[in-house]
């Protein structure tokens, strides 16, 4: 009998290769006759291209070809998720071309490419390309970009507006705010971030002239989607002539979901030079300019309620910076994934949001870990604290008072999750928020906050506690909601799994999901081992190759654990059912009389009449003797569309100490109590939370992409962008409540983003709490010593 590994902290099967340096990341791949590509990128944030002279570059040593935009017959990259989906909202869409042709809209937009025998030769020749530029005026801040007289980026986007999208009850919210006892208003900024996966992106394109087929290796979270987008929308190459492969991926955090110009460029280049494989790997500086950024909202928030702390309305107006052109699902992030969850875990009856997408001369913005939900959580959690402060209420008490009650589920929130037409609704299906809050308060020492603050004050420190109670919509998503109702990209979001039990009884599971460090090879093997009763070491999980895995939508939105594992559970059920019918054939019994206990299939009442799944697979896969109508082989595929998203929740508490002299903020304690449902592997779940929390803390305290007014990225390398370091963190303290998700049979919810969604607001609230004795209610992130010190000086009436 195999050991049941479901729910156990099993060591990861991926690690054996990774700890020995035997991983296979994109840049580790070497192919026979492979050559190298370098992309010349715009040094200007806004300019017309007058001419490009590639003649000198073409004669450089080792150079095989030089291309400009005029050489590439492909379409611009596709827009897959306009704001409002198919609901008819005007979206003024401008997508990047594979190489820019007439003008550039941000520093780093690609304008020419060199292919050479070695990477160094390609870099050298790139320097010899001469572009005659006509620089144009630039705008980088959203509030500037929508003003009259601002430099205009695109003819079809007056005032640099991509869209204006609203959600919620405008009049009802206005009435609630107008009649409220207390209204708090505040402008807050959710600054731009650079994802910083430790591995950047890269591609290898190989055109095989013998078959007229392409293979593209890509550091991508979505190889199946990229094959679809690259063929159907960009290149026009038939889909069945292209194979996409994602090798080991060195982190992604959303930045590798998208369709990037370089993917099509390596395909074009390989064919153009006669079929040698062409490798392109971005440098970190390139990554900072040409792989997506995240967040970048300016929001005016209003929160209204009474002096008892009952919140009646929240209204926001948000300007979302989407960059110089759009990334694949850029407009979907600050709309559906942000404003539709603005009320968080609270029963706020009136919600209204107006979101304006804005073009600026900056790198495009798209999904970064959490994608819209951290921005929403930051707004509502700052708002709760600002309101509590205004009426003199305890931040924990105001949260408790406004939580959606445990008996109120399923709960349709007022910002539109449940109001979509067409019969497809998603709703918050389960939750019990107060126990997690209570536990986090106890663990963090919140109940003795006054004593801790006094003790810190005696050391010259201002101590603050910050709460963040969150929900996450993850496990995305029901296709009927995301697609047919027009709430998402023009595609589905089901997931797939194929299970084969081979003649020797070994099991190969292929998945449509695409790991980037989450440990899918371990967790899906745990699930299938549990479902089939076979030892985990007899199960291998494969993924990442459009040849050999069923179509899947890839991994993001904390969906693999919920939607992907559900597909695997259903595929295993089909395997069991076929094995049951074949066991009946082998044992000369009725299928209804076959009992399944792990791997054993026995006749009810005759426990000695038994076949193992391995014996069944051997005979069935050979197919020498088959019952009428049964096909040989134990091989089943499932495409699973989820009924609903999943709804993790929890409360995080951050404790900070601020040096009164310098404004330096130290995160001294961090407590997270999360409810992610049941866990397939608690060790991996904890790791996901650690990493997510660290990224969210990074936003609160240190990180930020900074542009000069001329559109130059000042935080243009790891020298200048504050990637968090080990010594900046305390030990993170985790605990849990467990409310199984009713959406899938394992009761899992997904955990990839939860930490990042909760932690930014917790830390920002802690800093605001620490500064409140000085009369400071809010400081925008990142809460660097300079900013905090400046706010302290201003509050004291000094010179900031």
Partner 1 sequence: MTVPVSLVVNGVRRELSVEPRRLLVQVLREDLDLTGTHVGCDTSQCGTCTVHMDGKAVKSCTVLAVQADGSEVTTIEGMASSDALHPIQTAFWENHGLQCGFCTPGMIMSAADLLARNNNPSDGEIRHAIEGNFCRCTGYQNIVTSIREAGKVMREGAAAPTSTTPA
List all residues 6 or more positions away from 77 whose beta carbon is below 8 Å from its beta carbon. 95, 96, 97, 98, 229, 233, 234, 259, 260, 261, 264, 328
Angstrom distance (rounded) from CA 757 to CA 254: 14
Nearer to partner 1, 282 or 487 (CB): 282
284 binds partner 1 (CB under 8 A): yes
DSSP string, 255-308: TTSS--HHHHHHHHHHHHTTS--EEEE--HHHHHHHS-BEEEEEEEEEEEE-TT
Q: Judged by CB under 8 A, does residue 778 bind partner 1?
A: no
Cβ nearer to partner 1, comparing 78 with 533: 533
* Residue 717 binding partner 1, by CB under 8 A: yes
Smallest gap from Cβ 363 to partner 1, in A, equals 17
Q: Select the span of 260-268, 621-629, 713-721, 780-788 touching partner 1 (CB under 8 A).
A: 713-721
User: Does 577 sit near partner 1 (CB under 8 A)?
Assistant: no
Residue 742 tokens read as 């009713």
Using rule CB under 8 A, residue 690 touches partner 1: yes
| CA–CA separation, 642 and 652 (whole Å) | 29
| Planar angle of CA 768, 774, 780, nearest 5 degrees | 35
**Considering the rule CB under 8 A, would residue 316 count as an interface residue with partner 1?**
no
Is position 760 an interface residue for partner 1 (rule: CB under 8 A)? no
**Pairing between β-strand 350-359 and β-strand 47-53 as defined by DSSP bridges:** unpaired
Determine the Cα–Cα distance for residues 46 and 137; give it in Å rounded to an integer: 7
Pick the closer one to partner 1 by CB: 25 or 300. 25
CA atoms within 13 A on the CB side of 224: 22
How many CB atoms lie under 10 A from the CB of residue 24? 12
Residues 525 and 690: beta-carbon distance below 8 Å:
no
Q: Dihedral of the CA atoms 417, 420, 424, 425 (nearest 10)?
A: 20
Smallest distance from partner 1 to CB 506, Å: 14
What are 428's strand-pairing partners? 411
Beta-carbon-side half-sphere exposure of residue 681 (alpha carbons within 13 Å): 23
Task: Tell me whether residue 330 or residue 752 sits nearer to partner 1 (CB atom).
Answer: 752
Spell out the alpha helix ranges (H) of 325-372. 336-339
Binding mask 132-151 for partner 1 (x = CB under 8 A): --------------------
Which of residues 11 and 451 has its CB atom nearest to partner 1 in the complex? 11
Closer by beta carbon to partner 1, 51 or else 719? 719
Please tell me whether residue 683 binds partner 1 under the rule CB under 8 A.
yes
**Under rule CB under 8 A, residue 1 binds partner 1:** no
C-beta of 539: minimal distance to partner 1 in Å? 10
Query: Cα separations (Å) of 38 from 66, 198, 274, 535?
Result: 10, 20, 18, 47
Strand partners, 469: 651
Q: Is 102 in the site for partner 1 (CB under 8 A)?
A: no
Per CB under 8 A, 782 contacts partner 1: no
Interface segment toward partner 1; rule CB under 8 A; list 245-253, 298-306, 414-422, 570-578: 245-253
Is 3 a binding residue for partner 1 by CB under 8 A? The answer is yes
Are the beta carbons of 572 and 639 closer than 8 angstroms? Answer: no
Stretch that binds partner 1, among 86-94, 443-451, 625-633, 684-692 (CB under 8 A): 684-692
Whose Cβ is closer to partner 1: residue 435's or residue 687's?
A: 687
b/e 228-261 (16+ beta carbons within 10 angstroms → b): bbbbebbbebeeeebbbbbbbbbbbbbbbbbbbb
Please report whether residue 253 would count as binding partner 1 according to CB under 8 A: yes
In the set 691, 704, 711, 782, which binds partner 1 (CB under 8 A)? 691
60 touching partner 1, by CB under 8 A: no
Which residue, 141 or 248, has its beta carbon nearer to partner 1?
248
- Nearer residue to partner 1 within complex by CB, 17 or 50: 17
Two structure tokens written together for 525: 């093997």
Question: Would you say 2 or 794 has its CB closer to partner 1?
Answer: 2
Distance CA 187, CA 573 (A): 52
Nearer to partner 1, 303 or 680 (CB): 680
514 binds partner 1 (CB under 8 A): no
Among 7, 27, 208, 491, binds partner 1 (CB under 8 A): 27
Exposed, middle or buried: residue 427 (CB in 10 Å: 0-12, 13-18, 19+)?
middle
DSSP letter at 27 equals G
Does the footprint of partner 1 cover residue 21 (CB under 8 A)?
A: yes
Residue among 719, 775, 797, 799 that touches partner 1 (CB under 8 A)? 719
Nearer to partner 1, 93 or 371 (CB): 371
Q: Which residue from 170, 186, 285, 400 is in contact with partner 1, where contact means CB under 8 A?
A: 285
Count of residues binding partner 1 (CB under 8 A)?
66
Min CB(349)–partner 1 separation in Å: 37
Does 518 contact partner 1 by CB under 8 A? yes
Strand 539-542 versus strand 507-511 pairing type:
parallel
Q: Are 209 and 275 in contact (CB under 8 A)?
A: yes
Q: How far is the CB of 686 from partner 1 (least distance, A)?
A: 8
540 interacts with partner 1 by CB under 8 A: no
Rg of the chain in Å (alpha carbons): 27
* Contact mark string toward partner 1, 196..215, x via CB under 8 A: xxxxx---------------
* Cβ–Cβ under 8 Å, residues 309 and 367: no
Tokens of 28: 């580790």
* List 714, 723, 786, 800, residue binding partner 1 (CB under 8 A): 723
Scanning 177-185, 306-314, 693-701, 778-786 for contacts with partner 1 by CB under 8 A, the matching segment is 693-701
Distance CA 696, CA 184 (A): 25
Q: Which of 23, 591, 598, 740 binds partner 1 (CB under 8 A)?
A: 23
For residue 248, state whether it binds partner 1 (rule: CB under 8 A).
Answer: yes
For position 15 contacting partner 1 by CB under 8 A, the verdict is: yes
Structure tokens at 172: 């009802």
Q: How far is the CB of 738 from partner 1 (least distance, A)?
A: 20
| Closest C-alpha to 346, from 385, 312, 318 | 312
Rounded least distance, CB 247 to partner 1, Å: 11
Asked if 30 touches partner 1 (CB under 8 A), the answer is yes
**Nearest alpha-carbon partner for 153 in 114, 106, 191:** 106
* Strands 732-736 and 665-675, sheet pairing: parallel
Q: In angstroms, what is the minimal distance from the CB of 31 to partner 1? A: 13
| Chain residues that interact with partner 1, rule: CB under 8 A | 3, 5, 8, 10-23, 25, 27-28, 30, 120, 196-200, 248-253, 283-285, 516-519, 522, 525, 536-537, 683-684, 686-688, 690-695, 717-719, 723, 725-727, 729, 731-732, 755
């Amino acid at each position: 009998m195999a050991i049941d590994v479901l729910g156990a902290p099993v060591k990861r099967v991926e690690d054996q290769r990774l700890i020995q340096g035997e991983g296979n990341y994109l840049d580790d791949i070497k192919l026979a006759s492979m050559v190298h590509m370098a992309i010349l990128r715009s040094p200007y944030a806004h300019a017309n291209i007058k001419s490009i002279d590639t003649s000198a570059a073409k004669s450089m040593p080792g150079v095989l070809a030089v291309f400009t935009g005029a050489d590439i017959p492909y379409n611009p990259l596709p827009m897959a998720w306009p704001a409002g989906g198919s609901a008819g909202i005007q979206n003024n869409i401008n997508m990047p071309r594979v190489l820019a042709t007439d003008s550039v809209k941000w520093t780093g937009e690609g304008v020419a490419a060199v292919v050479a025998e070695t990477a160094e030769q390609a870099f050298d020749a790139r320097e010899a390309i001469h572009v005659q530029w006509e620089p144009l005026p630039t705008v980088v801040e959203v509030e500037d970009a929508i003003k009259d007289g601002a430099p205009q980026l695109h003819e079809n986007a007056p005032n640099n507006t991509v869209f204006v999208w609203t959600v919620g009850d405008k009049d009802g919210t206005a009435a609630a705010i107008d009649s409220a006892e207390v209204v708090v208003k505040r402008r807050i900024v959710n600054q731009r971030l650079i994802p910083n996966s430790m591995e950047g992106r890269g591609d290898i394109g190989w055109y095989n002239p013998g078959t007229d087929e392409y293979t593209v290796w890509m550091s991508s979270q979505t190889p199946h989607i990229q094959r679809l987008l690259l063929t159907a929308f960009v290149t026009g190459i038939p889909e069945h002539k292209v194979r996409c492969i994602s090798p080991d991926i060195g982190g992604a955090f959303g930045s590798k979901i998208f369709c990037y110009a370089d993917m099509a460029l390596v395909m074009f280049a390989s064919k153009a030079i006669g079929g040698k494989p062409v490798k392109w790997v971005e440098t970190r500086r390139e990554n900072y300019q040409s792989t997506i950024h995240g967040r970048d909202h300016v929001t005016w928030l209003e929160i209204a309620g009474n002096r008892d702390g009952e919140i009646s309305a929240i209204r926001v107006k948000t300007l979302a910076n989407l960059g110089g052109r759009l990334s694949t699902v850029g407009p979907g992030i600050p709309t559906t994934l942000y404003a539709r969850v603005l009320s968080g875990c609270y029963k706020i009856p009136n919600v209204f949001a107006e979101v304006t997408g804005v073009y600026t001369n900056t790198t495009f913005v798209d999904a970064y870990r959490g994608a819209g939900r951290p921005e929403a959580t930051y707004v509502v959690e700052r708002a709760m604290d600002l309101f509590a402060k205004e009426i003199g209420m305890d931040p924990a008490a105001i949260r408790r008072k406004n939580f959606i009650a445990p008996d109120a589920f399923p709960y349709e929130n007022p910002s539109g999750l449940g109001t979509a037409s067409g019969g497809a609704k998603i709703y918050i299906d389960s939750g019990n928020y107060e126990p997690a809050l209570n536990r986090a308060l106890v663990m963090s020492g919140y109940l003795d906050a006054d004593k801790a603050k006094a003790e810190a004050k005696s050391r010259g420190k201002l101590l603050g506690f910050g709460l963040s109670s969150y929900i996450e919509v993850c496990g995305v998503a029901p296709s009927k909601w995301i697609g047919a109702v027009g709430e998402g990209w023009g595609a589905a979001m089901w997931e797939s799994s194929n299970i084969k039990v081979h003649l020797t009884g070994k099991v190969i599971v292929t998945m449509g999901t695409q790991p980037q460090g989450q440990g899918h090879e371990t967790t899906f093997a745990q699930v299938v081992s549990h479902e089939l009763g076979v030892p985990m070491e007899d199960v291998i999980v494969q993924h990442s190759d459009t040849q050999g895995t069923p179509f899947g939508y890839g991994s993001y939105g904390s969906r693999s654990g919920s939607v992907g594992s559900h597909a695997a559970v259903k595929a295993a059920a089909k395997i069991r059912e076929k094995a049951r019918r074949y066991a009946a054939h082998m044992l000369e019994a009725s299928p209804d009389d076959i009992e399944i206990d792990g791997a054993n299939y026995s006749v009810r009442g005759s426990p000695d009449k038994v076949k193992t799944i391995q014996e069944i697979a051997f005979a069935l896969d050979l197919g020498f003797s088959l019952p009428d109508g049964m096909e040989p082989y134990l091989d089943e595929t499932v495409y699973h569309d989820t009924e609903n998203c999943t709804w993790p929740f929890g409360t995080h508490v951050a404790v900070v100490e601020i040096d009164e002299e310098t404004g330096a903020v130290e995160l001294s304690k961090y407590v997270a109590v999360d409810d992610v449902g049941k866990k397939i592997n608690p060790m991996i779940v904890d790791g996901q939370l650690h990493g997510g929390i660290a990224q969210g803390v990074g936003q609160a305290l240190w990180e930020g992409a900074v542009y000069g007014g001329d559109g130059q990225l000042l935080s243009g390398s790891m020298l200048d962008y504050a990637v968090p370091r080990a010594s900046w963190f305390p030990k993170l303290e985790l605990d849990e409540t467990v409310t199984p998700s009713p959406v899938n049979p394992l009761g899992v919810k997904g955990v990839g983003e939860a930490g990042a969604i909760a932690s930014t607001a917790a830390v920002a609230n802690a800093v605001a709490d620490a500064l409140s004795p000085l009369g400071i209610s809010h400081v925008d992130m990142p809460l660097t010593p300079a900013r905090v010190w400046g706010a302290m000086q201003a509050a004291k009436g000094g010179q900031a």
